[in-house]
């Protein structure tokens, strides 16, 4: 939408969005944020034009290769969530390579949601639960909220404290529906390509003020 409103090809918007991600990752490091999850490609995005999808795949590959050294140097650990098996073997290998290279990062967990949809994630997790039940690895009595969470793509991460929604859209768009049950939501009218470190700081400040009121401070 950002590119369309400016009369530019969609590829311009995607490249600007990638640049924005680099800026936000750097600011997240400065602010000592421990986990940053970004919705990079949804399961619904396959409905876009083939040319645009191919451009996005190339951009993913280029971005990861370019940013790998920065991530290693600054303690950023990359994680991919979603059904990565739908991507080309080449792109899967790139993700695996960068995940391995950054596996010792301790400062920031950068979680890229790719070919991700929350309903798809739940379906896949339920299939794993059913298989473990059939294999007698779990009992019905084991199915607590914590147990279900352990089967999700985000099992190793804590639930988000803050969800930032860009573009002024008032919906979750099939993103981390289980995990965001108690997250604070911050909505900005700015598109992701225009999102800056100041926008991030403003969102966090809003979250902190709300939390302060809830605590009665």
In 3D, which of 122, 199, 217, 216 has the Cα closest to residue 162?
199
Q: Where are the domains of the chain?
A: 2-214
Tell me the pTM. Answer: 0.93
Which CATH number among 3.40.1180.10, 1.10.150.130, 3.40.190.10, 3.40.50.2300 corresponds to the domain 2-214? 3.40.1180.10
Partners of residue 116 on adjacent β-strands: 42
- State residue 11's pLDDT score: 80
Residue 60 pLDDT > 70, yes or no? yes
Phi-psi domain of 121 (left: phi exceeds 0; alpha: psi -120 through 50; beta: other): alpha
Residue 217 pLDDT > 60, yes or no? no
- State residue 12's pLDDT score: 82
DSSP SS3 for 178: coil
């Amino acid at each position: 939408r950002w590119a369309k409103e400016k009369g530019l090809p969609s590829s311009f918007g995607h490249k600007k969005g990638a640049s924005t991600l680099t800026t936000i990752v750097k600011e997240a490091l400065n602010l000592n944020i421990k986990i940053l999850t970004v919705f990079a490609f949804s399961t619904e995005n396959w409905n876009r034009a083939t040319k645009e999808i191919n451009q996005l795949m190339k951009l993913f590959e280029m971005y990861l290769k370019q940013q790998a050294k920065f991530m290693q140097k600054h303690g950023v650990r990359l994680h991919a969530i979603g059904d990565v098996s739908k991507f080309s073997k080449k792109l899967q290998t790139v993700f695996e390579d960068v995940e391995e290279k950054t596996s010792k990062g301790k400062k920031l967990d950068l979680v890229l949601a790719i070919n991700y949809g929350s309903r798809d994630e739940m379906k896949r997790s339920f299939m794993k639960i059913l298989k473990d039940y059939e294999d007698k690895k779990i009992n019905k009595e084991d199915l607590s909220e914590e147990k279900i969470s352990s089967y999700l793509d985000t099992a190793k991460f804590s639930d988000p404290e803050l969800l930032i929604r860009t573009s002024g859209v008032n919906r979750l768009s099939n993103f981390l529906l289980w995990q965001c049950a108690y997250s604070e939501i911050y909505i900005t009218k700015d598109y992701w390509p225009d999102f800056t470190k100041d926008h991030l700081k403003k969102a966090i400040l809003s979250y902190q003020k709300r939390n302060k009121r809830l605590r009665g401070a």
